[in-house]
Amino acid sequence: MDNDELVFGAVGVAPFDERVYRTVLAGPPVTVRDLAERTGAGVERLHSALARLRGHGLVSRLSGRPTRWAAVSPTAALAALVRNAHADLGRVTETAAELEAVYRALGEAARPGEGVELLTSADELGRWFARLQQEATKEIMSLDRPPYVLAHGNPLQHTLLGRGVRYRTIYAPESFEIPGNLDDVTGLSQAGEEARVLADIPLKMSVADRRIALLPLHLDSPITRSVVIRGTTLVDALVTLFERLWTQAVPLTAAGPEECDPLDAEDRRILNLLLSGLKDETIARQLGTSTRSLRRRMRVLLDELGAENRFQAGVQAVRRGWV
């Protein structure tokens, strides 16, 4: 099944979980072993997916030995998920409205003691981004997308990763359309950053230690209005939004070679980028090759995996331990 045919992400169901649900739905009640044979996925991963699907109300566990799983009627289950998603989006909308109200109330200067500081230039945003990281002791979580205020990446991140600060970043695909960005992110991943990719990120932000948030109030370039929010329910709402998007995003990692892995480093990199959902043109530009040459190489990879499309390639690559 092609990724374009998967639609449950809009209600918080990950692509892999949706494929498992569709497999369960397509036949009589099944065991985890049955699912492993049909999908090529590992038993532990399937147990986790079924637990999440059960939490969403999409599958039920039947009594008896061995344990079997059955699909719940999609009409009722998905209607409930859609209602929950609408409620979540409503809370995000309310958060945006609160931010705008804060901005209007602050006017040209932030009022002390309210936990919100207004920034009125890109330079201020850049300085505060550095300060936010310097104040972090545990974790930085970010939604990353253009436009950028730092001209040369994030010089502090390698240092802070070395000190044990955890970085989790969700990148928009358009971030990698900027020459050199993919190489930078690859280097950060090797240094310890946990990177994922997700289309249609709704805003740009960074949160330090779940207590201080920094975000622009618009995404037009240059960025002229931003806010720093300290220790309020707005920060909690932004953390909740990040965690929800994190579950939907695709990991962008460089898999280590296996003994049985016949791929060279560049082929393995192409495979990981391919499975992360990046466009062929973006991958080719980052690799410094033409789209036509990239597609020829991708065709060889698909043939090596016995796959006809990206999804089949992903299943086979995971089964063989290549990614």
Query: What is the topology classification, in CATH, of domain 3-72?
Result: Arc Repressor Mutant, subunit A (1.10.10)
CB 49 within 8 A of CB 55: no
Q: Is 258's pLDDT higher than 60?
A: no
Share of the chain above pLDDT 90, in %: 15
pLDDT of res. 74: 72
Rounded average pLDDT over 100-108: 55
**Top-level class of domain 87-249:** alpha beta
CB 147 within 8 A of CB 222: yes
Residue 289 binned pLDDT confidence (cut-offs 50, 70, 90): confident
Residue 260 binned pLDDT confidence (cut-offs 50, 70, 90): very low
CB 282 within 8 A of CB 177: yes
Task: For residue 313, give the amino acid letter.
Answer: A
Query: What is the topology classification, in CATH, of domain 265-319?
Result: Arc Repressor Mutant, subunit A (1.10.10)
Residues of the chain with CATH 3.30.870.10: 87-249
Report pTM. Answer: 0.53
pLDDT of res. 87: 66
The pLDDT tens digits of the residues spanning 7-53 come to 676 667 888 888 888 898 888 898 999 999 988 888 889 988 898 88
Residue 164 binned pLDDT confidence (cut-offs 50, 70, 90): very high
Say which range, 36-50, 71-85, 254-268, has the weakest mean pLDDT. Answer: 254-268
CB 22 within 8 A of CB 311: no
Residues of the chain with CATH 1.10.10.10: 3-72, 265-319
